[in-house]
Chains A and B, each alone.
Chain A
Amino acid sequence: MNYAEFLGMGAEMTLMVVIILLFIYDTFAPSKCGKYLPITAITLLGIQTLYLAFGNFADVSLFGGMYISGSAEQVAKIILNIGTILVFIQAASWVKDGDMQIRRGEYYVLTLITLLGMYFMMSAQNFLLFFLGLETASLPMTALVAIEKYKQNSYEAAAKYLFFAVFSSALMLLGMSYIYGVTGTLYYNGILSNITASPLTILAVVLFIAGMGFKLSLVPFHLWTADVYQGAPTVVTSYLSVISKGAAAYAFMMVLKDAFGTADLVWLTVMYAIIILTITVGNLFAIRQQNIKRFLAFSSISQAGYIMLGIMACNAHGATSLLYYVLVYIFSNIAAFAVAGAIERASGKLNISDYDGLYKTNPKLSVAMMLAMFSLAGIPPFAGFFSKFFIFYSAIETGTTGMYILVFIALLNTIISLYYYLLVVKAMFLKDSEAPIATIKSDGYTKAVVFITVAGIILLGLVSWVYDYIYGMVI
């Protein structure tokens, strides 16, 4: 028993420290200091991110190979951290609201615990740890979704999320149990060497994919997404839509690669179908949405489909593109949610048609929203274009005809997605309204998050350093 191994988990341990510090601060600090909680959380997480980015970490494999952390995991964690910081900045003005004040401590602690769960999900090399990480990421998330607990949308969303999550984890557990039954182990490397082709294996893999499909909201496992995104508080939605999805995507890739790598034909085929379904169905639903949060939910479904293309590649470019896509997606989506959230808080309006003529009254917010939409749609020179291109690049790199077709279908879908992203732009810029949303005075946090995300949207693609960095870490 060598408990010093705990210290090897730099990211998790430091995050744990942050959680504990925040917990202590929230519990014991005098109530008048409560208003500094957001900035404390942001600072602490920022410090931890910097530590992750610049600290000296060796590639480790701990606890008998149950946990690994290489530079790829590290960069994934950094990306998630960046996203979480952005969400925290976005949240800072939200948690000041009257009802939220009393729950802000819980908000930060729970969010960070889900983040911790995601860390473990990504670093796991064993299905038990993976499953625990997954649950650590989803169960507190339920509480977060329900955090505005007196609003019907919020608890309805929470209930749906919870039941769906547990149902999917039950199915996933069933899958895992079959995998265990087939291979006799839950360690990825053991599975990799023991897995054999049989209906049971296929069923197990599909059940596992279904379970992850829930987290990633892949079609047909996506139906909860829109309702939960709409019902959850905007800040939680943005967290749910980017961080949770990003972590799941990476962990999913790790599992498919490290555990099911020898059965890749099966899951490649399954994922092939699922990607097509996801992108297409997500897009088709998104076309009809009026509520901006629902709209973003469906958009995030189709985005998840694109992210999955990175998994299909099974190579360094694939992993890099996936992480890069997630990073860009974090910035773009948080920008969209930040603007939507700011407008929601100021005017209570969430419908796209309410945005008519927004540019006249709120030019900066509109521009930020537009850039977010462009980035999501993959319009250059914004980051989304690069991430899309790279993800297609990695998919085609495999060189099979099927991939060409898949990318082609994905590309056709970008047209549909462009259509609905432009609908938002159209509302803001093209249309006039007799009663546009009044000019919103945003506070510093909102300004900061919008500024940072917009800067990210513009720079992440053009500055190749980001991609190079991720690539250097992944390879």
Chain B
Amino acid sequence: MDYSIVILALPFLMFLTLALAGNKMSQKFAGLLGTTGLLVITILSYMVTFQYFGMPRVEGVREALMPYNFEWLSFTDKLTINLGILLDPISVMMLVVITTVSLMVHIYSMGYMHGEKGFQRYYAFLSLFTFSMLGLVVATNIFQMYIFWELVGVSSYLLIGFYYTKPAAVSASKKAFIVTRFADLGFLIGILLLSFYTETFSFDQLTAEGGFFLTSTSGATFMGCSVASWAMALIFMGGAGKSAMFPLHIWLPDAMEGPTPVSALIHAATMVVAGVYLVARLFPVYLSVPDVLELITWVGAITALYAAIVACVQSDIKRVLAFSTISQIAFMMVALGVCTSMIPGEGGLGYMASMFHLFTHAMFKALLFLGAGAVIHAVHSNEMSDMGGLRKYLPITHITFLIACLAIAGIPPFSGFFSKDEILAAAFNKSTFWGVWMTVVAAITAFYMFRLYFGIFWGKEAKHEHTPHESPATMTVPLIILAVVTCVAGFIPFGEFVTSNGTAYHIHIDPVVATTSVVCAVVAILLATWLFAKPNTKPEKMQAALPKLHKWAYNRFYMDNVYQYITHKIIFARISKPIAWFDRHIIDATMDMFATVTNVAADKIKGFQSGKLQSYVWVYIVGAMVIAVAAMLIFI
């Protein structure tokens, strides 16, 4: 599959073209260029997909291919960064996800971003992002992944800060970058630690069977945990940052300051799942460190619950979606965390479920965001209070949005049901505790999604300056396509393609789990309908009943304030400022002091040069005598 290189090269070339020559092009041309390019990439990745999954299994396992892998930078004899393309089930699956969503977003943006200043720049950044994300998923080694990991980070930064004159966007982009960067620090140290023991970055060696990883780190411990655990936990920290796991999630809601299609692409469908992808990629390794898997489960579960609760009370629709994204990604994390073996049927189900959910979630969440974008496009606001009753004006958006909501709520036959069901099943497999926990979260999900849905399309109609109207075709077509995908994706025999050990696995719905979750979801939806479908005062009453909880949830449990405190009060005020002060007033002053002392000394001794001959002579003779006496004392 030599042509797979084009999938990487083309977006990069497009980025260069658009970045360097974008100003010379018309907006339309730039948009078309970008979209066409992406279309080509999409087609190519579909070809890759078909070809890859069309290949026969080797001993029942899907073999990983590595059409390219060249040395990019060598550290030591053994440790080298290679750049290459690794095709295996999950990377191919990701190719599909990324190119599909990206293509949709490209098309959608032609309408959504129409006439914006910096349109060409926007497309350039999109290309850059696509390139980076594709590079990330096809990485053959952990360092290549890290490289593209950083690159998606910066693309995200650039796109969040696209409206660079808006201070909120600027600070959001900064926050996103720095928080993920902080997480990446963990990732980096994890990589370094890992590679120190394994002497390799390459995935195929790291994940090779036979406990290569474990044997090489055996014995080394640090603070009670094995070094292997530390390394993997730190790597997970990177993933947690990118995937907005609690408590590193704070950047994601703010990232909604970027253009909505960007949110759809980066902050819903692709980049934010990179963390999940990372864990999946290193899954065999994680399996060998169960304590870290436990950690992942806990982090995922807490995040899922936390984000779901917060999502219930947010008023900005994109923030609701953002928290929903956090929560859903946490689902995927939990799914990975609850795995206990490589075999899908015996505790390895979560892996498949996670990937499946990743896939379906990408589609419906992109759809939700794009739909939200259409809404925002229509009413020029993000606030739910400015919306309501829009179903009349935006019929296509309304329908597609509803489909997505149903999917995320886990209502059959929409795709979300299938994937979430697998996750819940995996969770129950591990323990009932996790199963119940996740089911509750799933129910809350249904609740807040429908709160959102009703808030936008039903409820009290807000006053509009001009009548909202349906979006142009460039925007609605992607919505429709994604809605279709959302409807049918659940029926894809996902287990055939992606499983933890590469063997085929037949998805079967566990009736108990499925029923429970659907019932819960339906109840939640009904509750939402009761509360929000018609304008009424029930929500306010509920707020009044639980003022503390509402306030805390509305303020996202003050996580941002904690961070604010850490950065401003501790890092800036307690570390940076004192260091800067120390530098100026201690170190620098010490250096200056040498000069001052010299000057003072010069001043003090000037009395000897009195201009009086006789005092000179006195100094002369006394000096001579003193020297003589001193010499006598030394030598006699």
Contact = CB atoms under 8 A, between A and B. Distances in A.
* Chains A and B directly touch (beta carbon < 8 Å): yes
Given A227-B611, A288-B603, A221 B636 contact: no
Contacts of A269: 631, 634-635
A424 B227 CA distance: 63
Contacts of B595: 419
Given A220-B619, A220-B620, A285 B628 contact: no
A210 B620 contact: yes
A142 to B, nearest CB: 14
A226 B623 contact: no
A251 B623 CA distance: 22
Contact of A281 (B605, B624, B634, B636): B605
B598 interface: yes
B512 interface: no
Interface string B578-622: 000000000000000001001101110110110101011101110
A198 B635 CA distance: 9
A284 B634 CA distance: 28
Contact of B616 (A171, A203, A224): A224
B627 to A, nearest CB: 5
A199 B599 contact: no
A53 interface: no
Contact of A202 (B601, B613, B615, B632): B632
Contacts of A198: 636
Given A167-B617, A202-B628, A288-B602, A220 B635 contact: no
Interface string A188-214: 000000000111001101110110011
A164 interface: yes
B609 A171 contact: no
B632 A285 contact: no
A206 B627 contact: yes
A288 B598 CA distance: 11
A159 interface: yes
B620 A287 contact: no
A221 B623 contact: yes
B635 A202 contact: yes
Contacts of A197: 635-636
A270 interface: yes
A163 B614 CA distance: 9
A160 interface: yes
B619 A207 contact: no
Nearest to A416: B598
A199 B636 CA distance: 7
A146 to B, nearest CB: 15
Contacts of B608: 223
Contact of A266 (B602, B603, B616, B631): B631
Interface residues of A, number: 39
Contact of B632 (A168, A199, A274): A199
B606 A206 contact: no
Contact of B636 (A202, A213, A274, A416): A202
Contacts of A265: 635
A262 to B, nearest CB: 13
A105 to B, nearest CB: 30
A273 interface: yes
Contacts, number: 89
Given A270-B627, A281-B605, A163 B621 contact: no
B620 to A, nearest CB: 5
Given A159-B613, A206-B631, A284 B636 contact: no
A255 B518 CA distance: 111
Contacts of A207: 624, 628
A266 B609 CA distance: 29
A221 B602 contact: no
A285 B605 contact: yes
A210 B636 contact: no
Given A266-B635, A287-B599, A223 B620 contact: yes
Contact of A210 (B602, B615, B624): B624
B631 A270 contact: yes
Interface in A222-237: 223-224, 226-227
A206 B634 CA distance: 13
A361 B632 CA distance: 57
Interface in A277-291: 281, 284-285, 287-288
B601 to A, nearest CB: 6
Contacts of A227: 609, 611
Interface string B451-465: 000000000000000
Contacts of B636: 197-199, 202
Interface in B42-75: none
A301 to B, nearest CB: 11
A125 B615 CA distance: 34
B620 A168 contact: yes
B620 A214 contact: yes
A46 to B, nearest CB: 38
Contact of B613 (A160, A199, A210, A284): A160
Most buried by B among A160, A203, A206, A207: A206
Contacts of A226: 609
A154 to B, nearest CB: 15
A266 B608 CA distance: 27
Interface in A218-265: 219-221, 223-224, 226-227, 265
Nearest to A206: B628
Contacts of A419: 595
A416 B599 CA distance: 10
A246 B388 CA distance: 100
A288 B617 contact: no
Contacts of B602: 284-285, 287-288
A207 B595 CA distance: 35
Given A198-B636, A207-B628, A221-B623, A164 B613 contact: yes
Contacts of B628: 202-203, 206-207
Given A160-B613, A284-B602, A171 B624 contact: yes
A197 B635 CA distance: 8
A147 to B, nearest CB: 20
A285 B635 contact: no
A159 B619 CA distance: 18
Contacts of A285: 602, 605-606, 609
A446 B615 CA distance: 38
B613 A274 contact: no
Interface string A94-107: 00000000000000
B238 to A, nearest CB: 49
A206 B624 contact: yes
B611 to A, nearest CB: 6
A10 to B, nearest CB: 37
Most buried by A among B609, B611, B636: B609
A453 to B, nearest CB: 28
Contacts of A209: 624, 627
Interface string A159-182: 110011001100100000000000
A206 B623 CA distance: 10
B606 A288 contact: yes
Contacts of A171: 620-621, 624
Interface string B291-323: 000000000000000000000000000000000
Nearest to B618: A223
Nearest to B624: A210
Interface in B94-112: none
Q: Which A-B residue pairs are the 6 nearest by beta carbons?
A: A220-B623, A223-B616, A210-B624, A206-B628, A284-B602, A287-B602
10 contacts: A160-B616, A167-B617, A203-B628, A207-B624, A207-B628, A214-B620, A221-B624, A223-B616, A269-B634, A285-B605
Interface of A: 159-160, 163-164, 167-168, 171, 197-199, 202-203, 205-207, 209-210, 213-214, 219-221, 223-224, 226-227, 265-266, 269-270, 273-274, 281, 284-285, 287-288, 416, 419
Given A163-B613, A223-B615, A265-B635, 16 more contacts: A159-B613, A171-B620, A197-B636, A198-B636, A199-B632, A202-B632, A206-B624, A207-B628, A209-B627, A210-B620, A210-B624, A210-B627, A220-B620, A220-B623, A270-B631, A273-B627
